[in-house]
Amino acid sequence: MNGILEKLALTINDSNDLEELVRPFLEILEEITGLESTYLTHIDEVQGLQHILYANNTKTQQLDIPEGLSVEWGDTLCKRALDEQKSFTDDVASCWGDSQAAMQLGINTYLSEPIRIGDGELFGTLCGASGSRISINIEARRLLSMLAKLIARQLERDRLLERLQRENLVFSQQALTDPLTGIPNRRASLQEIGRALAGVNRSGTPLHLAFIDLDGFKAINDKYGHDAGDRFLIQIAQRLSEGLRDSDFVARYGGDEFLVFGPACSTDLEESRKAIGTRLESLISGTYDLSGEAFIYAGPSVGVVTALADEKDVESLISRADAAMYAVKQARRSGR
């Protein structure tokens, strides 16, 4: 028994997931009971099925319960054992002779312990079975109960870890998403531009960055109200997201400012910058629905710059795009 307890302690200490915990447990259960097959099941009460998750079958015996096997829950020995609160029998034929699954598998000795998690939710069972009649002493049954509790603890830990990972993913996405428009925010744009510049340095493919300023946005807020201004920004984000290439990244940089960047698709960088500026102005200009009233927007100021392989500083690149945008804004104001 000391060897069993030592193996049990090592398994608990070394296991990182359910499978690493369960497989040695099944070997321990076989060793202390002499049963031909030991296995862990999961019960799907909605579908009415019991699934064999992990199984340990001795090589010298004929009984073989395969992993992946699914049987109707209502026909299982586990269901009968739970209903009758009878965890062990060495005479299945006389005790539960109506079980077709037991007859087909040739089970005569059966041992089962429910695995419950949380507030008593039935996850499955830890079981042992044999084609011959085998007596199981009380110490072995107590160990079975302890193993089931340890498995339940691991399942609860795994569930908690999965929930924390999901919540962390949601939190990370929220931290990088503009809550109004649903597109990436300033923080996300800085990260992605940094990655894009690293790609430029690896591949040598230039990157175009456009800085968009929505001229006249304050006047929209003043005339139509802030709710209408918010709807305007949302529609701007939708137009940009839907009207550009899949390879282009769109972000709300802050307030009425947006960034768009993506790989250059032409060797004539000056012409492609002009084309991008024209495309963005055309995409954003036009009619918007503000508070049920059609509003014709004259268009934004767009500055476009190019990052080459020697560009490394994100803030410097954005500053250049901002300056290019301001030059366009000044030209628009002067009517040039």
Same structural domain, 107 and 225 = no
Q: Which residues contact 157 (CB under 8 A, 6 or more apart)?
A: none
Query: What's the count of helices (H) and strands (E) in the chain, helices before strands?
Result: 11, 12
- CATH number reported for the structural domain that contains residue 91 in this entry: 3.30.450.40
Number of neighbouring beta carbons within 10 Å of residue 192: 17
Final residue of a structural domain among 154, 169, 197: 154
Same structural domain, 9 and 150 = yes
Same structural domain, 205 and 327 = yes
Q: Which residues contact 129 (CB under 8 A, 6 or more apart)?
A: 35, 36, 37, 38, 39, 63, 65, 77, 105, 107, 109, 110, 111
Per-residue model confidence (pLDDT) at position 147? 94
Same structural domain, 135 and 192 = no
Please, what's the b/e burial string for 77-90 (b: 16 or more CB within 10 A of its CB; e: otherwise)? bbbbbbeeeebbbe
Give the containing element (helix H, strand E) for 214: none
Same structural domain, 205 and 124 = no
Q: Within a domain: residue 170?
A: no
Q: What is the pTM of this model?
A: 0.61
Per-residue model confidence (pLDDT) at position 60? 64
Same structural domain, 8 and 138 = yes
Same structural domain, 8 and 122 = yes
Final residue of a structural domain among 154, 173, 201: 154
Residue-level pLDDT, tens digit, the chain, 336 residues: 556 666 777 777 777 889 999 999 999 999 999 999 999 999 999 999 999 999 999 866 678 889 999 999 998 999 999 999 999 999 998 888 888 888 888 889 999 999 999 889 999 999 999 988 999 999 999 999 999 999 999 999 999 889 888 888 888 778 899 999 999 999 999 999 999 999 998 888 999 999 999 999 999 999 999 999 999 999 999 999 999 999 999 999 999 999 999 998 878 899 999 999 999 999 999 999 987 888 999 999 999 999 998 888 999 999 999 999 999 999 888 765
Q: How far apart are CA 108 and CA 12, in angstroms?
A: 31
Q: Within a domain: residue 161?
A: no
Q: Find out whether 26 and 151 touch, Cβ atoms under 8 Å.
A: no
Beta partners for residue 254, in sequence order: 257
Per-residue model confidence (pLDDT) at position 10? 77
Same structural domain, 97 and 52 = yes
Q: How far apart are CA 216 and CA 205, in angstroms?
A: 35
Q: How far apart are CA 18 and CA 31, in angstroms?
A: 20
Place of tokens 């990972």: 165
Same structural domain, 309 and 191 = yes
Per-residue model confidence (pLDDT) at position 2? 54
- CATH number reported for the structural domain that contains residue 215 in this entry: 3.30.70.270
Whether residue 256 lies in the annotated active site: yes
19: domain range?
2-154
Distances (CA, A) of 142 to 65, 112, 251: 23, 11, 60
Give how many domains the chain has, as a whole number: 2
Please state whether beta strands 88-89 and 109-117 pair in parallel, antiparallel, or not at all (unpaired): antiparallel
Residue from 178, 213, 256, 322 carrying the catalytic annotation: 256
